[in-house]
Amino acid sequence: MHSICFTVGDYPVYWFGVMLALAFLTALLNWTYLGRKEGRDLNYCSDMMLWIMISGVVGARVAFVISEYRDFIKRPIEVFYVHQGGLIFYGGLAGTGLALVVFARMRREKFMSLVDFVITAVPLGHFFGRIGCFLNGCCYGGRYSGILSVVYPRDSLPWKEQLHDGVITQGMSASCPVHPVQLYEAVFNLCLFFLLGWAYRRRRVDGRVTALYLLTYPVGRFLFEFFRGDARMPAVAGLSVAQAVSVALFALGLGIWFMSYRKEKETTRGRS
């Protein structure tokens, strides 16, 4: 794996940036497809994507900078090197949520209806994002020598961190084998994308699709964290920050699910 996709003159174009662009493009295609029968045309979806793109990237980058603030204090200009990777998904999710609050008010739409619509594309975008992480070498897995293991080349992030930790020596041309945890999560997100698409087309009340996402993705993320090999910030009881956030989001998903269930029962009762 190599982080650079190609070069234009002396300027490198990184795989992470390419995959990030693909994430937003495929999300836009998905929204445009689903929105055909709902009055959400390409102009609507493009406008919405601009809000999500800016707020999501900013939120994800801010979360990463906070988690790695010691390094950024030494090299503050690198705060803006988003094209090289360094985004935290849950930070992006929080930024997107704030943007949707504003967007829903501007469009005078029901917030949960809009979130249900938007969240159908989140796993698809995340799928491309994790492929970008895999090619970039960030968010890599723990040491593992099984059939699915991968190695990263000299001067990659895993190689540098394993060298720093004394796991490998300067003369080694590749890192020790590790779990391709980014690919595990990519496949999981792709499956989740199809599940949410199926649920969205069969939804009866607002919030049900959002609840399904919050009851599914955090469980996978919680488990995948155990396969990570990069430095993780401890949070509570030995869990990583991402695992603690996953627990909180799962609880939120339960709350939204029960509220949507109660709303569905009230709607059914009103029709009878």
The position carrying tokens 């090197």 is: 81
Q: Is the pLDDT of residue 28 over 90?
A: yes
Per-residue confidence band for 118, with pLDDT thresholds at 50, 70 and 90: very high
pLDDT digits (tens, 9 = 90+) for 219-228: 999 999 999 9
Percent residues over pLDDT 70 in the chain = 90
Q: Is the pLDDT of residue 72 over 70?
A: no
pLDDT at position 51 is 92
pLDDT at position 164 is 87
Per-residue confidence band for 7, with pLDDT thresholds at 50, 70 and 90: confident
pLDDT digits (tens, 9 = 90+) for 173-221: 999 999 999 999 999 999 999 999 999 999 889 999 999 999 999 999 9
76 against 9, higher pLDDT: 9
Instruction: For 143, list phi and psi in degrees, rounded to 5.
Output: -60, 135
Burial of 116 (0-12, 13-18, 19+ CB in 10 A): buried
Per-residue confidence band for 23, with pLDDT thresholds at 50, 70 and 90: very high
Q: Is the pLDDT of residue 29 over 90?
A: yes
pLDDT at position 270 is 58
pLDDT digits (tens, 9 = 90+) for 35-53: 998 889 999 999 999 999 8
Q: Is the pLDDT of residue 271 over 60?
A: no
Q: What string of DSSP letters covers the chain?
A: --SEEEEETTEEEEHHHHHHHHHHHHHHHHHHHHGGGGT--HHHHHHHHHHHHHHHHHHHHHHHHHHTHHHHHH-GGGGG-GGG----HHHHHHHHHHHHHHHHHHHT--HHHHHHHHHTTHHHHHHHHHHHHHHHT-SPBPB--STT-B--BTTSHHHHHHHHTTSS-TT-SBPPPB--HHHHHHHHHHHHHHHHHHHHHT--STTHHHHHHHHHHHHHHHHHGGGB-S---B-STT-BHHHHHHHHHHHHHHHHHHHHHHHHHHHHHHH-
pLDDT at position 17 is 84
pTM score, whole prediction: 0.88
Q: Summarize the confidence of residues 130-143 as an average pLDDT.
A: 91
Percent residues over pLDDT 90 in the chain = 57
pLDDT at position 231 is 75
